[in-house]
Amino acid sequence: MNYLIPLLVVIPILSALIVNIFDGKDKTVKAISLVLGILVPIIAICATVGVQYFGGHNPSLLTSSLPANLVNTLVAGYNTGIVYAFANIERIFIFLMGIVAFLAILTYFSEKKEVSGPYLYLIFMGLASVIALLLSEDIFNMYVFFEITALTQVGIIVASSTEDNYEIALKYLILGAIGGPMLLLGIGFILGTIGSVNIADIIFVISNKFVQPYSPGLVIGFALILFGWLYSAGLPPFHTIKSAVYSKARPNGSAILQGFSVLCMLAFGIAMYKIFAYIPYFNTAIIVFAILAMVLGVAMSAMEVDFRRMIAFLAVGELGFIALGFGIGTQMSIAAALFQAANEIVITAMLFIGFGSVYYLTNTSDTRKLGGLIGIDSKMAIMVLLGGWALAGVPPFNGFQSKLMLVQAALDAGYTELAILAIIVSVVIFFTFVKAFHNVYLQPKPSELKFVHDKIPKVTVFAVAILLIICLVLGICPNIVTDVFIPFAGGLI
């Protein structure tokens, strides 16, 4: 038992409650948020690998107390309570998400004189829910925290007070009323067929053929869970609403929301792969949605004149690379997908915060009304440009390493067309971003452009610099994470 593991969830929940209670006392709220916020990545580094059984229900201990007629049965091995599993892969993703959340909160404080306790409450509750989703070993518990994450995303949009934010929040909520129940219904089919919602139990029952692997309950359950997964990640057909969600939040909120989506996608993607990878056309279905996300994401971003919407669609397209790695289904491709997910959390956060400084200065995100901003803060402009290169997969950044792994994995698996598609999409991302960068920073400043702030807060520059450093470190030394991802991927297949 490692009692630091539940603290990864407890600390953000505690932070959410405290900042909400002290709403209106800005100094107190800021101090509490920063102190408790930095604890999440610190605990992620300090916690040792292990399993946390809640309620003292360790199956090996419970077996001795079972009736004699149940000791040697399948029931004796079932997990009867909530289990959290913390390994090095969870350490990496929780650390990165914690750093992004901390920097986003820091940026929020620098740009807003009066801070909102409810807004911070939503951020911390969302952080707690995605961490719990990653740690949880049963799919029903994952569903509960997924719903909390979805609600906090809606709340963050509403609390952002941007144009049309209520409309987008309502649309996302309505779609959630479809995607969430579909996911729960799929879990119900699994429970009805297996008798347990614990992932290890489900795998044990299926692999030992205690139930028919191709039974209707399991196949229908997979189809419904796949639908819920598409909604949680923002893959087609939910890509339009997901991109709208990112574009209607504050830039610091968008950075966090994208991280939430990546972790939801990752947690359910790994769970689906563990449980359903044997089903025919499993990989084909994932690849189809991956291709749609990549193509639609970059195509729609190329047509955008609003840089927030452009980044949002690019973020959706990048999710397609993650799905593609899972769809190819080899050890190297899954490791590449995990690496891409880690990079996505950092790079997209950097771009939302970095380009968000333009919105902070001008109160507009329409690239047709912008220009000449490189003269305001050339350091920020250069860092944003480098962030775009990282997103497109330009060396020596981390995006290059993960996409190179993915292309190599596709070629090794015989998917030459997918490798070519990944390269083409990356090239389109590069030109789309360079065009937006030119319009915002390099073209002449329009005479009607007015500035609502004189300069970018130093804290915002600091946050973007930290994220850029992480991109460089992971690009130059990818083995920091690949040494964890490759063995984990090998254990999945």
Residue 51 bridge partners (DSSP): 85
Q: Which two tokens stand for residue 483?
A: 């040494």
Which pTM was predicted? 0.92
Confirm whether 51 is domain-assigned: no
To which residue do tokens 């995100």 refer? 365
Q: Which two tokens stand for residue 449?
A: 């452009």
Q: Which two tokens stand for residue 480?
A: 């920091």
Quote the domain boundaries for residue 421: 281-493
pLDDT tens per residue, range 87-146: 999 999 999 999 999 999 999 998 877 788 889 999 999 999 999 999 998 899 999 999
Confirm whether 491 is domain-assigned: yes
Cα(167)–Cα(173) distance, integer angstroms: 10
What local confidence, expressed as pLDDT, does residue 61 receive? 55
Confirm whether 398 is domain-assigned: yes
Please answer whether residues 16 and 125 qualify as being in contact, where contact means their C-beta atoms are separated by less than 8 angstroms: yes
Question: Of how many residues is the chain composed?
Answer: 493
> Would you say residue 272 has pLDDT above 70?
yes
In angstroms, what CA-CA distances link 255 with 139, 238, 267, 414, 470?
Answer: 26, 19, 19, 35, 15
What phi and psi, each to the nearest 5 degrees, are found at residue 161?
55, 45
What phi and psi, each to the nearest 5 degrees, are found at residue 209?
55, 35
Q: Region 321-345: what's the mean pLDDT?
A: 94
Q: Region 219-227: what's the mean pLDDT?
A: 92
pLDDT tens per residue, range 413-469: 999 999 999 999 999 999 999 999 998 898 888 888 888 888 889 999 999 999 999
Confirm whether 427 is domain-assigned: yes
Residue 50 bridge partners (DSSP): 86
Cα(271)–Cα(360) distance, integer angstroms: 40
Q: Hey, CA dihedral for 396, 399, 405, 411, is it positive or negative?
A: negative
Confirm whether 16 is domain-assigned: no
Please answer whether residues 168 and 248 qualify as being in contact, where contact means their C-beta atoms are separated by less than 8 angstroms: yes
Q: Which two tokens stand for residue 199?
A: 């992932």
What local confidence, expressed as pLDDT, does residue 75 receive? 57
What local confidence, expressed as pLDDT, does residue 66 receive? 55
> Would you say residue 55 has pLDDT above 70?
no
Nearby residues of 269 by Cβ (< 8 Å), 6 or more positions away: 229, 233, 322, 323, 326, 337
Confirm whether 411 is domain-assigned: yes
Residue closest to 239 by CA, chosen among 178, 149, 312, 302? 312
The number of distinct structural domains making up the chain is: 1
By DSSP bridging, strand 50-53 and strand 83-86 are: antiparallel
Of 21-30, 51-60, 134-143, 383-392, minimum mean pLDDT range: 51-60
- The beta strands (E) that lie in 75-198 are given as 83-86
Residue 265 banded pLDDT, cuts 50, 70, 90: very high
Helix, coil or strand: residue 164: coil
Confirm whether 156 is domain-assigned: no
Q: Select, from the ranges 50-64, 76-90, 151-165, 435-449, the one with the highest average predicted confidence (pLDDT).
A: 435-449
> Would you say residue 76 has pLDDT above 60?
no
Confirm whether 238 is domain-assigned: no
Mean of per-residue pLDDT scores for the chain? 88
Cα(340)–Cα(362) distance, integer angstroms: 32
> Would you say residue 69 has pLDDT above 70?
no
- Vertex 275, ends 271 and 277: CA angle to 5°? 105
What distance, in Å, lies between the first and last C-alpha atoms of the chain? 28
